[in-house]
Chains A and B, each alone.
Chain A
Amino acid sequence: MNSPGVTIDRDVKTDELVINMGPQHPSTHGVLRVILKTDGEICLDAQPEIGYLHRCAEKIAENLVYGQFVPYTDRMDYVSGMGCNLGYCLAVEQIAGIQAPLRAEYLRIIVTELNRIASHLLAFGTYGIDTGAITPFLYGFREREMILDLLEMLCGARLTYSYIRIGGVDGDVPPGFIDKLREFIDIFPGKIREYNKLLTFNHIFMKRTTGIGVLSPETAIAYGVTGPNLRGSGVRRDVRRDEPYSVYPKLEFDVPVGTTQHGGPLGDAWNRYYIRMKELEESTKILKQCVEQMPQGPIMAEKVGRVKPPAKTEGYMRSENARGELGFYVVSDGTMQPVRVKVRAPSFSNISVLPEIVRGQMLADVVAIIGSLDIVLGEIDR
């Protein structure tokens, strides 16, 4: 019996185990390496090591003309490349003083929101796999396939689009696109209910994800965590609503934030996951409005050519990508090549909070927490 005041000498000496999780591990979502210090199944410390996918895209940008860098932005957050395209193009347009036509802006938002849905579906599916349920992944991919087909109709690519260009978009919608999009908007809410039934409110899943990896709003803000991860902690911040760009001011949508209704604390893994499921609905709403509001007209600003912003102009463009606040800081020296393109990748800040929230959790929770942060290594390492 362990009575108070009595210390027990353990005759079995246990040791800390240092485990190298990644860069090749099924649940690190790419080439993240986490150095775990564990005591049995309990994780004492986790140190993320990044950079395995580093290509120094920012250096590449300095050697290209502005428009040529668009395809590189696809390869940053490769699951929602449209959002990266948009962020970069808006940043360049901002310093070069270009205004894209209204139809192009609507097309941009349509593709970005479609891509956000695709990205959240991937997050949903892989989170299922992280917690051991494989089937949700295939369910998510069923609808993601429809989106990829739509985007393929539009620009021929399924993952790295480069559809959004400086001054507008690459091409107008092909015939049949809007009908297919409407069809998708109609069926998708039912599918979201299906996902929720299958995974979100599954008892085991909730038990697995509730109360782990609790990220308080203060910690989240201190670490610069943005996007669904920040909103999961109850902070209602969304650049699309707070500092709207493009045509977002004309669109109505909610910004879902984390709750405690599921019986767990604010900012736990389930909350972060559930925000994404809610955002699927919001993005569908935005799509619906865009399809209704989209005017006819040109899709490219006139006389854009090779962009040549004035010397010593700079601009920092904040946009809300699927993973959070994507920033492009573009500085021009008056030539056709930027002097500096700095990418502020949301996942970079999001993963930096990992050591803070995995301490004391079980090994299986580490996987569930990394999954709930929904990182893309392409943009962390750039």
Chain B
Amino acid sequence: MSPSAFASSGKPAAESAKSNFGEKIIDIQAVSSDVVLKIQPAAWKEIHAFLKSEGFDMLVSISAVDWIKENIMWIVSHLSDTNKQRRISVKTDVPRDAARVDSLASLWRAADWHERECFDLSGVSFAGHPDLRRILCPDDWEGHALRKDYKAPDFYHGIQNNVNLIDLDNRPPIPEIV
């Protein structure tokens, strides 16, 4: 049985969101695992609040995907309904240099740490987050590692970083094996 059997479980909720928010929802996509609501960044929090009232009571994760060529970032959240076994995903595009959405920490306590992680690694800032600090990297770390243009520092507190000895950009192409 493929996992996609549950992929469409968020469809009714997505459609009801579409009828409620209209223009703020750009598109309803169906990917292999979830129904994805593609929304305007400004509506990030209100649509999540709506989905929470629809019964999606658990915020599973918040991630950011860096598309350097298009100069945008996806901010993606995944939600679960623990009672009715439904799932849905919300996605928004933000410009890379102003990656910013509203914080969901007031809706789900889980958002606190997930947003801190997203801030730490991808450099997305969350407006209204109670305590937006780095969580995995040390406080004095520079840069956000999951950005595609991230360059690791050569030295951190006198410790040499060997990663920079590998020239990642000029690696030989990977041969295909089929």
Contact = CB atoms under 8 A, between A and B. Distances in A.
B is bound to A: yes
Interface of A: 50-51, 54, 56, 58-59, 62-63, 65, 90, 94-95, 99, 219, 221-224, 226, 230, 235, 237, 242-249, 303, 305-306, 308, 313-318, 325, 327, 329, 331, 333, 336-337, 339-340, 342, 344, 348-349, 352-353, 356, 381-382
Contacts of B149: none
A33 to B, nearest CB: 12
A342 B137 contact: no
Contact of A329 (B63, B87, B117, B121): B63
Given A51-B135, A336-B176, A313 B31 contact: yes
Contact of A344 (B60, B87, B109, B136): B60
Contacts of A314: 31-32, 36, 65, 76
B121 A315 contact: no
B32 A223 contact: no
For the side of the interface on B, what is the size category? Answer: 35 or more
Contacts of B58: 221, 224, 226
Contacts of A58: 121, 146
Contact of A222 (B87, B108, B137, B174): B108
Interface of B: 1-4, 6, 31-34, 36, 57-61, 63, 65-67, 74, 76, 78, 80, 82, 85, 87, 89, 108-110, 112-114, 117, 121, 134-138, 145-146, 148, 150, 168, 174, 176-178
B136 A349 contact: no
A316 B177 contact: no
A317 B121 contact: no
B33 A94 contact: yes
Given A318-B87, A339-B65, A308 B176 contact: yes
Nearest to A319: B3
A139 B85 CA distance: 38
Given A224-B110, A305-B178, A342-B63, A381 B136 contact: yes
A62 B171 CA distance: 14
B57 A54 contact: no
Contacts of A308: 176
A382 B136 contact: yes
B2 A99 contact: yes
